[in-house]
Structure 1
Amino acid sequence: MAIDAATVRKVAKLARIAEPEDRIEPLARELNGILTWIEMLSEVDTDGVAPMTSVVHQGLPMREDVVTEGGDPAKVLANAPKAAKDFFVVPKVVE
């Protein structure tokens, strides 16, 4: 798929990117180079390769699942600007 100047103008307009006219042709050539490189990737043999979500395998940190009595409301709300009946009071944001 080749990208021409008209396509660059259309995409720039849709993305609301103001691109000067003298940059349209070089940008089209650059995008065509990127697409050529992407097409080269389709030639790579990936049969038998498992999909990856990350290049580094990381396990999630686990903690002991313990039932507690919860926090002390007085301590939790000590620095709250405003509290009522053991709850934070926040300004109304939806009218």
Structure 2
Amino acid sequence: MSKIPGVNHLDAVRALQKAGFSIARQGKHIVMSNGTRILTIPRHNPVNAFTLGGIVRDAGLTVEQFRDLLRNKRGHSEFSRVTMGGLWEEISMSIYILL
């Protein structure tokens, strides 16, 4: 398992939002949920690497998946791009068949 460097808490929150989590409440810690899992992210800059590793594990992600979400700051993860690309091809094919 590769290591996760210390990350700004806002970057961690954005990455987890791309993974399907939403902010439930905020205070000294940010609580996020995806309906089945609840995560608590401390407002520290940077978030300790060991703490972040536990959060990633609790989110059901691998370190590599989390790193991909962190790297791709402008859009969705590569996983969702592949899914959306396939969906777009299906829609295009359906329109072509109808014409």
Give the TM-score of the pair, scaled to structure 1. Answer: 0.25
Higher strand share: 2
More helix by proportion, 1 or 2?
2
Q: Tell which structure's C-alpha radius of gyration is larger.
A: 1
Higher relative contact order (CA 8 A, sep 6+): 2
- TM-score, normalization: structure 2? 0.24
